[in-house]
Amino acid sequence: AQTVTQSQPEMSVQEAETVTLSCTYDTSENNYYLFWYKQPPSRQMILVIRQEAYKQQNATENRFSVNFQKAAKSFSLKISDSQLGDTAMYFCAFERSGNTGKLIFGQGTTLQVKP
Amino acid sequence: NAGVTQTPKFQVLKTGQSMTLQCAQDMNHEYMSWYRQDPGMGLRLIHYSVGAGITDQGEVPNGYNVSRSTTEDFPLRLLSAAPSQTSVYFCASRLAGTGGEQYFGPGTRLTVT
């Protein structure tokens, strides 16, 4: 069975600085997808970034980028130029290929951006 | 598009009561899922469906029932509520295929006393 682990329950960063959130996962699959979702205080889940396992190039979305290390089964999220609106809980999630839409989530990391 | 809608937003139940959490989407998505969110545990999959008439169990299905008679609707039934079912419940939908974005509803906060 696949598992996703986020070992940092809480983190904080000063506005405009850079922060990295960690995620590791365990799977025997070769093809899969990894995601980072953001949950602000409004509780709405929002997709931040997505990575396909067979793509070696790390995904980037504006200030958000990932460091995907397939052999190490690591998938960290880097937030550059942190903004107050980035304050949220961040979830790492795994989906194996197979057309089920099933996501396995990590425990979450609460990020506080300080002014 | 309204996206994914869930009703109610909040609910308090007594132990042993039953109720249905409603979920609807207007994006013609084939896949729909129910998750529960508990502190320190992330989101855990309860049940999911890959199309009308097709449902399957997720990681924590006990005490919950689902059916999918239409593409748009995917209600979650609590058969006999227990305090352990106190949680925030999210419905999600997405297009068929692998790796697509899941669209989440706003969630239902359920308290069982």
pLDDT tens digits along B22-49: 999 999 999 999 999 998 889 999 999 9
The neighbour count for residue A33, using CB atoms within 10 Å, is: 19
Residue A85 in 3-state DSSP?
helix
Answer whether residue A99 shows pLDDT above 70. no
Which stretches of chain B score pLDDT less than 50? none
d(CA B63, CA B73) in angstroms, rounded, equals 20
d(CA A108, CA B7) in angstroms, rounded, equals 25
- Min distance B53 CA to chain A CA atoms (Å): 15
**% chain B with pLDDT above 90:** 90
Which neighbouring-strand residues pair with A34?
A51, A94
- Min distance B57 CA to chain A CA atoms (Å): 10
Is cis: bond before B75, omega within 30 of 0?
Answer: no
Length of chain A: 115
Please, are residues B89 and B21 in contact by the beta-carbon 8 Å criterion? Answer: yes
Question: For residue A33, which residues of chain B lie inside 8 Å, CB to CB?
Answer: 98-99
pLDDT tens digits along A17-59: 999 999 999 999 888 999 999 999 999 999 999 999 988 899 9
Average per-residue pLDDT in chain B?
95
pLDDT at A98: 74
Residue A96 in 3-state DSSP?
strand
Nearest to B99 among A43, A45, A52 (CB): A52
Which neighbouring-strand residues pair with A47?
A37
d(CA B77, CA B75) in angstroms, rounded, equals 6
Structural tokens at position B70? 């239409």
Using pLDDT thresholds of 50, 70 and 90, give the confidence band for residue A102.
confident
